[in-house]
Amino acid sequence: MIDGFLKEIANMFDFTRKDACEMMRSFQIEMENGLKGRKSSLKMLPSFVRRPKGNEKGDFLAIDLGGTNMRILAIRLLGQGKIETIGMRRFSLGKEIISKTEDVFFDFIADCVSAFLNEHKLDVFLEVGFTFSFPVIQTSILSGVLVSWTKGFAVKGVEGHDVVTLLDKAFKRKGLENLKLVALANDTVGTLVTQSYINPLCDMGVILGTGTNAAYPERLESITKFKGMWYSEEMIINIEWGGFDKIKMTKYDEQLDKDSENPGGQRMEKMVSGRYLGEIARRIMKEAFEKGLLGSKELKDIFLKPYSLTTEQLSLIASDKNIFNDSGIEGISDKDIRLLKEIGQIVSKRAARIASAAIAAVLTHMDKELKLEHVIAIDGSLFEKYKGFKENMDTMMKEIFPNQADKIHLSLTHDGSGIGAAIIAASLSSH
């Protein structure tokens, strides 16, 4: 019985080479449409940033906001691709904070910044780079209107507003006079910029964490929808690939989407990113339970409640840690745990393969025949910590490019999202 069920799930979630090639074609069409300002599930947002030279210098503060943890960093850029982190602290953004009103939310951020400055005795004048990892339409490097929240964030009064103005007002309310916001960036842009600062071969930044997305440098002449002023021949584009919706979905994906806070939105993100993989697996486990395939009654309660199984737990199970024993839940049979592990594998394997197909689509958009070497800067807990995720990505890449996959280097870029904002801030004073 269980074997039959697993086989059925594995078939449903199979993402073959053929699926990848089809996805790459429609992904590239959506990219083109997005760049031309036509209807597309890829927003292709101009970032007002180009790749750095590597010689940018100075001390900066970076605020990195976009997942369950906000990070604040004091960064020293030494030039020649050298970066020193003077201080870094994580602040957890609990459910209560991410569903408050705009003023409470931004006051909380300003309070965290204030605590960080006190802790590190930083009372000097500091330029601040703000990484805000949500879809934002920018009209300059220092302004951007939030289109819609993603990843479960639901702070009221921010959608449709300029997030730089909101943060700046909170700084003023909290008397943070020595801070000057100078740059706003997406985490993918920050990650790309950080790796390019160190390695000029880098031409893509990818996040595989709570959410997923990517950025790459585009030739200005191809961004035909862009009517503003820009001083360089290239501009980094924030693809917002989490929104890609030309992709085959299972009934579990459909249901998850329907029940989510943003139905119809972030379809690819809901199949790939950390916020959702645990939830997909939970839905499958619930069905297994209803079909009488699970022995342990204790599991029922766990699998009944939406989002009660996190991707982090799934990742621990993948590494053979017994999360149930650790949380004092006893009596779960090995057989049930094995089923959960297999389901986790199926769900995370598809996620990794879709991520690789999306990267492949962007690479062949930039370099049709893959003539060059490409370094892809990747940050995020899925890529970094989920057992087998990177290997699954590598395997898909080899299937897509049997003879050229060795030209593609997936490179973990820690804290790139925050550090990148500092580099962008520095590059503003150097061009």
In the complex, the residues that contact ligand BGC under the rule CB under 6 A are 66, 133-135, 150-151, 186-188, 207, 209, 211-213, 240, 242, 269
Rg (CA), the chain: 22
Shortest distance in whole angstroms from residue 136 CB to ligand BGC: 7
Q: Give me the least distance between CB of 275 and ligand BGC, in Å please.
A: 8
Provide φ and ψ at 428, rounded to 5°: -65, -35
Q: Of 163 and 425, which has the nearer Cβ to ligand BGC?
A: 163
Q: What is the smallest separation between the CB atom of 226 and ligand BGC, expressed in angstroms?
A: 19
Q: Find the farthest-apart pair of alpha carbons in the chain and give their distance in angstroms, rounded.
A: 67
Buried b (16+ CB within 10 A) or exposed e, 54-71: bebebbbbbbbbbbbebb
Give the separation between CA 128 and CA 100, rounded to whole angstroms: 24
Enumerate the H helices of 83-231 as residue ranges: 95-98, 102-119, 163-173, 187-198
To 5 degrees, how large is the angle CA 297–CA 307–CA 386?
Answer: 95
Token representation of residue 272: 């790939």
Based on the residue annotation, tell me whether 111 is a catalytic residue of this protein: no
Q: Which of 41, 133, 273, 315 is catalytic?
A: 133
Shortest spacing between CB 204 and ligand BGC, in angstroms: 13
Task: Report the residue number, 193 or 337, with the smaller CB distance to ligand BGC.
Answer: 193
Residue nearer to ligand BGC on the CB measure, 184 or 284:
184
Which tokens belong to 374? 């490409």
Question: Among residues 40, 41, 51, 71, which one is catalytic?
Answer: 71
* Shortest Å, Cβ 337 to ligand BGC: 31
Per the annotation, the verdict on 282 as an active-site residue is no
Comparing every residue's Cβ against ligand BGC, the nearest one is: 211
Instruction: Answer for the pair 49, 235: CB distance below 8 angstroms, yes or no.
Output: yes
Does 71 qualify as catalytic in the annotation? Answer: yes
Q: 64, 168, 187, 415: which one is catalytic? A: 187
**Residue whose CB is less far from ligand BGC, 66 or 344:** 66
Neighbours of 124 (CB within 10 A): 8
Locate tokens 């909380």: which residue?
108
Q: Nearest CA to 51 among 165, 197, 226?
A: 197
- Tell me whether residue 194 or residue 212 sits nearer to ligand BGC (CB atom): 212
| Residue number with CB closer to ligand BGC (9 or 378) | 378
Shortest Cβ 164–ligand BGC spacing (Å) = 15
Q: Specify whether the CB–CB gap between 194 and 413 falls below 8 A.
A: yes
Beta-carbon contacts of 204 under 8 Å, excluding residues fewer than 6 positions away, are: 192, 214, 215, 216, 359, 362, 363, 374, 375, 376, 377
Nearer to ligand BGC (CB atom), residue 97 or residue 405? 97
Smallest gap from residue 316 Cβ to ligand BGC (A): 22
- Please tell me the number of Cα atoms within 13 Å of 317 on its side-chain side: 24
Instruction: Label the pairing between strands 212-219 and 234-238.
Output: antiparallel
Quote the DSSP letter at residue 261: S
SS3 174: coil
> Which residues carry out catalysis?
71, 133, 187
